[in-house]
Chain A
Amino acid sequence: ETGVTQTPRHLVMGMTNKKSLKCEQHLGHNAMYWYKQSAKKPLELMFVYSLEERVENNSVPSRFSPECPNSSHLFLHLHTLQPEDSALYLCASSQDLGRVGSPLHFGNGTRLTVT
């Protein structure tokens, strides 16, 4: 496996369910990110981790809970979601947080539908 891998690719959940999204990066990067992508809107940063420590929580509701057990893995735990949380959730990694011009490398996302 190379790059950034996200599972599952698709997820349908009810408002009372609990589920988790998983991300794994094989690039040897030190920073990992969760983004939310909704139609007609810019990518919305949710969380940033650098060397397994959370460095940014962008005013995300507590029904989204991230976890970064090591620099290669990132999870997003979901509970009591709302229909407006339906979106494409993208995981990304970068070489180091704050390295000049270091691009984000994205996975293919999890398409989440909340019913």
Chain B
Amino acid sequence: EDQVTQSPEALRLQEGESSSLNCSYTVSGLRGLFWYRQDPGKGPEFLFTLYSAGEEKEKERLKATLTKKESFLHITAPKPEDSATYLCAVQNTGNQFYFGTGTSLTVIP
């Protein structure tokens, strides 16, 4: 069964303290792995698509990487405005999307 597991469930960082969020997945043929950011009271905002193992994408302080079993979202020198819930999702060959339950990130000034 296709599924996505994200860890940790919650993460508190001091401003400037770099860390990584994990997304482990099992999927019947990966067509894409997606990272989203969700602020309270809003819908998920698309960040990255990764297609194959070894691929990396960057945006400001965020870098997403992909292996055959997991993806990491690295946050370098985070700022309070990076506080949000980060969601991971995979698309399988049946064009179905499976989401994780997210990591709630809090960056303390």
Using a CB–CB cutoff of 8 Å, the interface residues on chain A facing chain B are 4, 6, 40-43, 45, 90, 92, 97-98, 100-109, 111
Interface of A is mostly: loop
B42 contacts partner chain A, Cβ-Cβ < 8 Å: yes
B47 to chain A: closest residue by CB: A103
Closest Cβ of chain B: how far from A87's Cβ, in Å? 13
Q: Can you name 26 A-B residue pairings with CB atoms under 8 Å?
A: A6-B43, A40-B101, A41-B101, A42-B4, A42-B100, A42-B101, A43-B89, A45-B96, A90-B44, A97-B95, A100-B91, A101-B31, A101-B32, A101-B49, A102-B32, A103-B49, A104-B34, A104-B46, A106-B36, A106-B43, A106-B44, A106-B45, A106-B46, A108-B42, A108-B43, A111-B41
A6 to chain B: closest residue by CB: B43
- Most chain-A CB neighbours within 10 Å: which of B34, B96, B97? B97
